[in-house]
Amino acid sequence: MSNGQVIRAAQMFVKQGAGASKGVNLKAEMLMGLTLGIGVGLTWKVYHWNEKRKQAEYYTTLARLEKQKE
């Protein structure tokens, strides 16, 4: 295979033009990161709030049952 064929093959698989050399959109990246961070953080907090509530209910029920035994 000669050099000319290799270059032509590479051009078939690599995008050409103005859209191909476009850089990273910093504002969009920051917005996506912020949105994902807030979403995951909120999900994490809600999960732990529910776990805390379940534990509080468990110990309240346990204390109530111990009080009834006396």
In a domain? residue 6: no
Cβ(14)–Cβ(20) below 8 Å: yes
Task: Give residue-wise pLDDT tens across range 34-62.
Answer: 999 999 999 999 999 999 999 999 999 99
In a domain? residue 9: no
Please give the span between the terminal C-alpha atoms of the chain, in angstroms, as a whole number. Answer: 93
Provide the pLDDT for residue 70: 79
For residue 44, the enclosing domain spans 24-70
Provide the pLDDT for residue 11: 65
**Domain tally for the chain?**
1
In a domain? residue 10: no
C-alpha distances (whole Å) from 35 to each of 27, 31, 38, 41, 62 are 12, 6, 5, 10, 41
Provide the pLDDT for residue 27: 93
Provide the pLDDT for residue 10: 62
In a domain? residue 49: yes
Task: Give residue-wise pLDDT tens across range 5-24.
Answer: 555 666 666 666 555 556 77
